[in-house]
Chain A
Amino acid sequence: MNRIDVVSRRGFLGTVFSAGAFVLGAQILPEDALADGTSGAPAWQPTVYLGLEPDGRVIITAHRSEMGTGIRTALPMVLADELDVDWKKVTIAQAIGDKKYGDQNTDGSTSIRSFYDIMRQSGATARLMLERAAAQQWGVPASQCKARDGQVTAGSHKASYGELAALAAKQPVPKKEELKYKTPAEFKYIGKGVPITDQPDIVAGKAVFGLDARVPGMVYASIEHAPVFGGTVRSVDDSEARKVRGVQRVERIAAFKPPYAFQPLGGVAVIADNTWAAMQGRKKLKVNWDLGANTAYDSTSYKKSLFETVRKPQKVARNVGDVDAEFAKGGTIHEAEYYAPMLSHAPMEPVNAVAEFKDGKVTAWAPTQNPQAVQDTVAQALGIKSQDVTCHVTLLGGGFGRKSKPDYVAEAALLSKQVGKPVQVVWSREDDIQFDFFHAVAAMYMKASVDAKGRPTAWLQRCAFPPIESQNDVTARYGGFEQGMGWSDVPFDIPHQRAENGPAEAHVRIGWLRSVANIYHAFAVQSFADELAAAANRDRVEYLLDLVGKPRTLDVQSIPPNTPGYALDTGRARKVIEAVADKSGWARKKSGPGHGYGLAFHRSFQTYVAAVVEVEIDSKGAVRIPRVDYAVDTGLVVHPDRVISQFEGAAVFGAGLALMGEITAQNGRIQQSNYHNYPVARINEAPREVHVHLMQNDAPPAGVGEPGVPPMAPALCNAIFAATGKRIRELPIKKTKLV
Chain B
Amino acid sequence: MIELKVNGASRKFDGDPDMPLLWYLRDLLELTGTKFGCGMGVCGSCTVHVNGAAQRSCVTSVKDVAGKDVTTIEGLDKNHAHPVQAAWQKANVAQCGYCQAGQIMQAAALLKQKPRPTDEDIDQAMAGNICRCGTYQRIRQAIHMAAGVKA
B-binding residues in A (CB < 8 A): 1, 3, 66-70, 195-196, 198-200, 202-209, 211-212, 214, 220, 245-246, 274-277, 279-280, 346-350, 395-400, 426, 428-430, 641, 645-646, 648-653, 656, 674-676, 680-684, 686-690
Residue of A nearest to B105 (CB): A205
* Chain A nearest Cβ from B98, distance in angstroms: 3
Q: Are B26 and A275 in contact (CB under 8 A)?
A: yes
Q: Are A689 and B92 in contact (CB under 8 A)?
A: no
Q: Are A348 and B23 in contact (CB under 8 A)?
A: no
Q: Which 3 A-B pairs have the closest CB atoms?
A: A205-B33, A652-B134, A397-B98
* Chain B nearest Cβ from A585, distance in angstroms: 19
Would you mind naming 27 contact pairs between A and B with Cβ atoms under 8 Å apart? A3-B32, A68-B94, A70-B95, A195-B92, A202-B94, A205-B31, A274-B27, A275-B23, A275-B27, A276-B19, A346-B132, A347-B98, A348-B35, A395-B96, A395-B97, A429-B37, A429-B38, A429-B40, A649-B134, A652-B131, A652-B134, A653-B132, A656-B134, A675-B130, A680-B132, A681-B134, A683-B131
The total of chain B residues at the interface (CB under 8 A) is 58
CA distance A649 to B139 in the complex (A): 12
* Chain B nearest Cβ from A366, distance in angstroms: 15
Q: Are B85 and A203 in contact (CB under 8 A)?
A: yes
Cβ–Cβ < 8 Å partners of B55 in chain A: none
Q: Are B28 and A274 in contact (CB under 8 A)?
A: yes
Cβ–Cβ < 8 Å partners of A214 in chain B: 30, 32
Q: Are B89 and A199 in contact (CB under 8 A)?
A: yes
**CB within 8 Å of A: which of B40-94?**
40, 42-43, 45, 72-74, 76, 80, 85, 88-89, 92, 94
Give the total number of A-B pairs whose CB atoms are below 8 A apart: 193
Residue of B nearest to A206 (CB): B33
Q: Are A398 and B19 in contact (CB under 8 A)?
A: no
Q: Are A349 and B33 in contact (CB under 8 A)?
A: no
Q: Are B92 and A641 in contact (CB under 8 A)?
A: yes
> Assuming the A-B contacts A203-B88, A648-B137, A690-B137, are A3 and B80 also in contact, with contact meaning beta carbons closer than 8 angstroms in the complex?
no
Cβ–Cβ < 8 Å partners of A195 in chain B: 92
* Chain A nearest Cβ from B137, distance in angstroms: 6
Q: Are B74 and A205 in contact (CB under 8 A)?
A: yes
Cβ–Cβ < 8 Å partners of B28 in chain A: 274
A-binding residues in B (CB < 8 A): 15-16, 19-20, 23, 26-28, 30-40, 42-43, 45, 72-74, 76, 80, 85, 88-89, 92, 94-101, 104, 122-124, 126-140
8 Å CB contact of B137 from A196, A204, A209, A688: A688
Residue of A nearest to B134 (CB): A652
Residue of B nearest to A212 (CB): B32
CA distance A67 to B98 in the complex (A): 9
CA distance A319 to B55 in the complex (A): 58
Give the one of B27, B36, B37, B132 with max A CB within 10 A.
B132
Q: Are B23 and A274 in contact (CB under 8 A)?
A: yes
Q: Are B42 and A398 in contact (CB under 8 A)?
A: no
Q: Are A650 and B98 in contact (CB under 8 A)?
A: no
Residue of A nearest to B61 (CB): A276
Q: Are A69 and B95 in contact (CB under 8 A)?
A: yes
Cβ–Cβ < 8 Å partners of A208 in chain B: 32
> Assuming the A-B contacts A275-B26, A277-B16, are A348 and B131 also in contact, with contact meaning beta carbons closer than 8 angstroms in the complex?
yes
* Chain A nearest Cβ from B138, distance in angstroms: 7
Give the one of B26, B88, B130 with max A CB within 10 A.
B130
> Assuming the A-B contacts A68-B95, A202-B97, A203-B89, are A651 and B134 also in contact, with contact meaning beta carbons closer than 8 angstroms in the complex?
yes
CA distance A279 to B34 in the complex (A): 18
CA distance A557 to B89 in the complex (A): 42
Cβ–Cβ < 8 Å partners of A1 in chain B: 30
